[in-house]
Amino acid sequence: MFVLAAVELTPHCQSFLRNTGQLQIRIVRSEAFILDLNTLQQAMVNDVTQPPDHTLRTFLELLTSQPFLNA
């Protein structure tokens, strides 16, 4: 688990902590889904005939969404 104290964050980010004083980040291994960063080149494909892989983008959007941070 990674813990960030509120004083390490910007005042804007601190306003979303709801007076908890810290932000805890825990990354756990799950068999439900595996994010393979070795396939990053597929996410940056310029060929319009191949659909790009948005897995990493989706993960980062979920990770930084406000409901996730509030939970």
List pLDDT tens digits, range 33-50. 666 777 666 666 666 676
Cα distances from 58 to residues 28, 43, 63, 71, in angstroms, run 18, 11, 9, 18
Q: What share of the chain has pLDDT > 70, as a percent?
A: 69
Residues 41 and 66 in one domain: yes
The pTM for the full model equals: 0.35
**Which structural domain, as residue segments, surrounds residue 12?**
1-30
Average pLDDT of every residue of the chain: 76
Cα distances from 61 to residues 2, 7, 19, 51, in angstroms, run 19, 24, 24, 19
If one counts the domains in the chain, the total is 2
Residues 40 and 68 in one domain: yes
